[in-house]
Amino acid sequence: MISEIEHREPGSPGPGALHVPDWLTLEQQEWIVGQFHAWASGPVPIRAAKVRGNEMTVRTVCLGWHWQPYRYTREATDVNGARVLPFPNWLVRLGRKALREAGYPESDVAAYTPDTALANFYNDSARMGMHQDKDERSSAPIVSLSIGNTCTFRFGNTKNRNRPYTDLHLRSGDLFVFGGASRLAYHGVTRVHPHTAPGGCGLDTGRINITMRVTGLNSP
C-alpha cells in the first residue's frame, strides 16, 4: 500500500528542482528499456559499485564516462578495464527537451550537452542512501528519468541528509530535473514499490533510473 501523498501534477519540491509526471510515453519507455539491456551487456557489464568496501544494492552501467565512487574515468578500472560506451546523441536531445519543458531559457537548453549517464537498476528491495551528486565539476542540471516500478524518492536539503526533506513518488515515465539551487541537494530512494509498473513500459519487475549529467571533464 502506497501511503505518501500523490503529486501527479508537475511540482517543485525545491528551487531549481522540478518533477514532471508521465513525461515519457510508454513507447519511449519500452524503447529505452531495450537500450538499457544493450548497455548492461557490455563492453562494461552492469555492476554493483562498492562504496567503502560495501556493494551498493543498486546496479549501475554508465555511458560516456564511467562513474565509480567518487570519480569519473573513461575506462571501467573497477570492473573490467574496458572503455564505456559513448554517450548517445538521442540522449543529448532528450536532455535538452527535458530542460526546455522544465522552463529553462533557450540559451541554457542549447548549451546543455550531457556527457555521462548513470543507468541504475533497482530490484524491488534495492535502495539508495541520501547523497549529493558532487563528483561533477559542472553545475549544469541533472536530468533524471524513471521507468518500471514506482519508488519513493526523498528530496532533501543542501546542508545534510536529515530533515527537512520531501518524499515523493517517481513513477514510470516521470522526469525529474535537479538544477540551480537544488543541484547539490541531498536525495535518495527509500523504497521501490513492487507490482506498480504500468503494462507496456518494458519492465515487469524492478526499476530503472537514468541520470544524465555534465561532468565538466575534458575528453581524453
Contact residues for ligand MD6, defined by CB under 6 A: 120, 128, 133, 142, 144, 153, 170, 176, 178, 187, 189, 209, 211
What are the helix (H) ranges across the chain? 26-40, 89-101, 106-111
Which one among 124, 133, 135, 167 touches Fe ion, defined by CB under 5 A?
A: 133
Task: Please tell me whether residue 108 binds Fe ion under the rule CB under 5 A.
Answer: no
What is the smallest separation between the CB atom of 144 and ligand MD6, expressed in angstroms?
Answer: 3
Question: 142 contacts which partner out of Fe ion, ligand MD6, none, CB within 5 to 8 A by kind?
Answer: ligand MD6
Does residue 75 belong to the site contacting Fe ion (CB under 5 A)? no
Q: Are 201 and 146 in contact (CB under 8 A)?
A: no
Closer residue to ligand MD6 (CB): 59 or 76:
59
Distance CA 26, CA 147 (A): 9
Please say which residue, 30 or 133, places its beta carbon nearer to Fe ion.
Answer: 133
Query: What are 182's three cell numbers?
Result: 537544488
Site for Fe ion in 186-215 (CB under 5 A): none
Q: How far is the CB of 107 from Fe ion (least distance, A)?
A: 26
Q: Cα dihedral angle (118, 121, 124, 28), rounded to 10 degrees?
A: 90
- At 100, list the grid cell: 526546455
Closest to Fe ion by CB, 172 vs 209, is: 209
d(CA 174, CA 188): 16
Q: What are phi and psi of 97, to 5 degrees?
A: -60, -40
Q: Does 135 bind Fe ion (CB under 5 A)?
A: no
